[in-house]
Structure 1
Amino acid sequence: MKKNIAIVMGGYSSEFQISLKSGNVVFETLNPLKYNAYRIHILKDKWVYVDDEAHEFPVDKNDFSITISGKKITFDCVFNAIHGSPGEDGMIQAYFELLDIPHTSCGMYQASLTFNKRDCLSVLRPYGVKTATSYHLNLGDDIHENEILNKVGLPCFVKANKAGSSFGITKVHRKSELQNAIDVAFKEDDEIIIESFLDGTEVSVGVITYKGETKVLPITEIVSDNDFFDYEAKYLGKSQEITPARLSPEEEAKVNTLARLVYDKLKLSGFSRSEYIFKDGEPHLLEVNTVPGFTKESILPQQAAAAGIALEDLFGNAIEEALLKS
């Protein structure tokens, strides 16, 4: 019997349009012989099921069901394609776990932890995970520019602590640019992280639970046409994403081992994509994403293809793994 799958997409952050694209790719790709797929838009002002004619039907948040032509539909599993809040910060995970509905992403605590760059990096450092030197600010804190720059140096990156897709991130070259960069970051989040610049090869590593086992996917090297891997580089074609990455066997082994360690120590499940920069031959962790992009151009699907995993298999496996956990 076919399973009813809710593909949740949208969200409450600046990433909602990207999420809608990811969710629609999942919808178009899932095997219709195995799954009844439903597009569920979760937005600040409404939660609705959207049919093929763009008609909207409200979601009953009491049990996450929909009613169509008088028939109530419940879901066997949720495919989480929401980037940012509430899909990547633990909130939607907690909701579905309370309702006992299986979902494809990691658990509530893991999502909340990894979404907070500052806290995630702090948890991983005792395991020997190298990171950039960082300085943290909360909204309302006094800003001591000399103190910040004495710690992280120039150039540096100012980032929203809890945001993705490079929203709220600025590369600062001069002290005069620092305050504006801080203001930009605070528009996305009430916490920011300021990090030292790491000059080296940037790579992205996908790790997934595949057929019951942790699998590290082929590594992607990121070469941005811009000053760094910003929004334009990620989504408007202003970068080269080279899979497999042009690494030495030693570098490849180091980052593969590190990416698996991060996945295992954080007790992740489902999808993950972590970002690293090599400095002095050692990979330094930038961040961990637990709901990476799912469009055909996104990095993790590229890596899966390089590993011989088709999108239909990639997405279907995530559902089957979620169902096994329930």
Structure 2
Amino acid sequence: MKVAVLYGGVSAEREVSLSSGKGIIEALQKRGHEVVGIDFNPAHLDEIMKLDVDMVYIGLHGRFGEDGKVQALLDMLNIPYVGSGVQGSALAMDKAKAKLFFARDGARVAQQQVLFKHSYDSKQTEITLPFPIVVKPNQEGSTIGITFAHNQDELRDGIDQAFELDETVLLEEFINGKEVTVAVMGNRGKEKALPVVEIVPKNKYYDYEAKYGAGMSEHIVPARLSNEQTAYVQKYAVLAHQALGCDIYSRVDFLVPEDGSDPVILEVNTLPGMTPTSLYPDAAREIGLSYDEMIEELVKLSLNKYK
């Protein structure tokens, strides 16, 4: 097939997307496809409007890629693409709203408080969560803009920093535990959870450096969880994927508390990283799919929904 790969983009996750795009392009070429690579920029939509391809693989991360906007454009142009549509993409990108769907299905979510730039006042707004508090932009990925506040000064600085990236800021209770993630794959109604991946960062927290720096985190597959914990995160990963209306693939992040209580679902990533150090390829490898085979499988699954 002739496949266009959209990568790069203009979000804070551009560098990650450049790496993902390179891997996706090489994998598709090795599988015999004719590939057109496009470093996507919303100011140059004519590149997309003129596309004459069989399929688009979206290798973007963050805004103008993972939030449903590109998907809406491709829908209007009647161009098939890999992955989730407009609704699933937009809902998953909005962490605060997505958590309402997770809780509705019975998953445990972290206590949260949502702040809006238009109404937030550092002197008047009451923060109801106890320290430490996790501060994050509501619609950024790759841990960009996330800080951990242990006192009022750190909280104020973290909120200000997060507001530089987003109009909405999410405050969450800090939960001490191990980070795990569950890859989900399949057409609607046939989604399966892949083996759970445990993330052991070299840094104190699983931050941007730990996520993308070579050797800065260890991925253990399958994760060192009890059978009950494994079943829990796999079950709620699929339910979260379905509740948001996601399609083909996603990666769902959890925290497993040290106290043995139920795992906490954090977010759904509809366009998970596909870099050499990314988690989704690790999970696929555990079920016997090489990186190239995984990319090909996602293309095939996506073709099914357009039949």
Q: Structure 1-normalised TM-score?
A: 0.88
Cα RMSD after superposing both structures = 1.9
Deviates more, 1:285-294 or 1:204-213: 204-213
The 3 A distance-change label for structure 1 pair 34 and 210 is farther
Task: Give the Å deviation of 1:34.
Answer: 3.7
Q: For 1:323 and 1:209, locate their aligned partners in 2 and report how far apart those are by CA, in whole Å.
A: 12
Q: For 2:154 and 2:179, locate their aligned partners in 1 and report how far apart those are by CA, in whole Å.
A: 24
Task: Give the Å deviation of 1:109.
Answer: 0.6
The 3 A distance-change label for structure 1 pair 75 and 157 is same
8 Å CA contact 1:5, 1:76 repeated in 2? yes
Q: For 1:148 and 1:285, locate their aligned partners in 2 and report how far apart those are by CA, in whole Å.
A: 25
Aligned to 1:17: 15
8 Å CA contact 1:5, 1:79 repeated in 2? yes
Task: Give the Å deviation of 1:85.
Answer: 1.4
8 Å CA contact 2:87, 2:245 repeated in 1? no
User: Deviations 1:251-298 (Å, cap 9, x if unpaired)?
Assistant: 111111111111222232122111111234311111110000111220
Query: Of 253, 256, 260, which residue of structure 1 is paired with 2:234?
Result: 256
User: Deviations 1:70-94 (Å, cap 9, x if unpaired)?
Assistant: xxxx110000110011110000011
Task: Give the Å deviation of 1:31.
Answer: 4.6
Query: Of 207, 214, 221, which residue of structure 2 is paired with 1:243?
Result: 221
DSSP-derived class of the 1:142 partner: coil
Query: Of 287, 292, 298, which residue of structure 2 is paired with 1:307?
Result: 287
- 1:20-99 correspondence to structure 2 within 5 Å: 20-32=18-30, 34-46=32-44, 59-61=46-48, 63-65=49-51, 74-99=52-77
Task: Give the Å deviation of 1:212.
Answer: 8.7
Task: Give the Å deviation of 1:132.
Answer: 0.7
Q: For 1:239 and 1:222, locate their aligned partners in 2 and report how far apart those are by CA, in whole Å.
A: 7
DSSP-derived class of the 1:189 partner: coil
8 Å CA contact 1:93, 1:105 repeated in 2? no
Aligned to 2:180: 203
- In the alignment, does 2:166 pair up with 1:189? yes
Partner amino acid, structure 2, of 1:135:
Q
Task: Give the Å deviation of 1:248.
Answer: 1.0
Aligned to 1:270: 248
Task: Give the Å deviation of 1:148.
Answer: 4.7
The 3 A distance-change label for structure 1 pair 35 and 227 is same
The 3 A distance-change label for structure 1 pair 142 and 33 is closer
| Aligned length, in residue pairs | 303
User: Deviations 1:29-64 (Å, cap 9, x if unpaired)?
Assistant: 1154541111111025546xxxxxxxxxxx544x34
Task: Give the Å deviation of 1:209.
Answer: 1.4
Q: Between the two proteins, what is the percent identity of the paired residues? A: 33
8 Å CA contact 1:90, 1:111 repeated in 2? yes
Aligned to 1:318: 298
Q: For 1:210 and 1:105, locate their aligned partners in 2 and report how far apart those are by CA, in whole Å.
A: 10
The 3 A distance-change label for structure 1 pair 146 and 178 is farther
8 Å CA contact 1:296, 1:302 repeated in 2? no
Q: For 1:141 and 1:192, locate their aligned partners in 2 and report how far apart those are by CA, in whole Å.
A: 12
Q: For 2:241 and 2:108, locate their aligned partners in 1 and report how far apart those are by CA, in whole Å.
A: 15
Task: Give the Å deviation of 1:16.
Answer: 0.9
The 3 A distance-change label for structure 1 pair 240 and 143 is farther
Partner amino acid, structure 1, of 2:279:
I
List gaps (5 residues or longer) in structure 2.
none
The 3 A distance-change label for structure 1 pair 33 and 114 is closer
8 Å CA contact 2:187, 2:305 repeated in 1? no
Q: For 1:112 and 1:251, locate their aligned partners in 2 and report how far apart those are by CA, in whole Å.
A: 29
Q: For 2:167 and 2:235, locate their aligned partners in 1 and report how far apart those are by CA, in whole Å.
A: 34
List gaps (5 residues or longer) in structure 1.
48-58, 66-73
Q: For 1:113 and 1:260, locate their aligned partners in 2 and report how far apart those are by CA, in whole Å.
A: 15
The 3 A distance-change label for structure 1 pair 32 and 246 is closer
Query: Of 147, 162, 173, which residue of structure 2 is paired with 1:170?
Result: 147
Aligned to 1:152: 129
Q: For 2:189 and 2:89, locate their aligned partners in 1 and report how far apart those are by CA, in whole Å.
A: 20
Q: For 1:267 and 1:211, locate their aligned partners in 2 and report how far apart those are by CA, in whole Å.
A: 9
Aligned to 1:54: none
Aligned to 1:68: none
Q: For 1:221 and 1:33, locate their aligned partners in 2 and report how far apart those are by CA, in whole Å.
A: 30
Query: Of 73, 92, 95, which residue of structure 2 is paired with 1:114?
Result: 92
8 Å CA contact 1:159, 1:192 repeated in 2? yes
Q: Structure 2-normalised TM-score?
A: 0.93
Task: Give the Å deviation of 1:240.
Answer: 2.1
Query: Of 5, 13, 21, which residue of structure 1 is paired with 2:3?
Result: 5
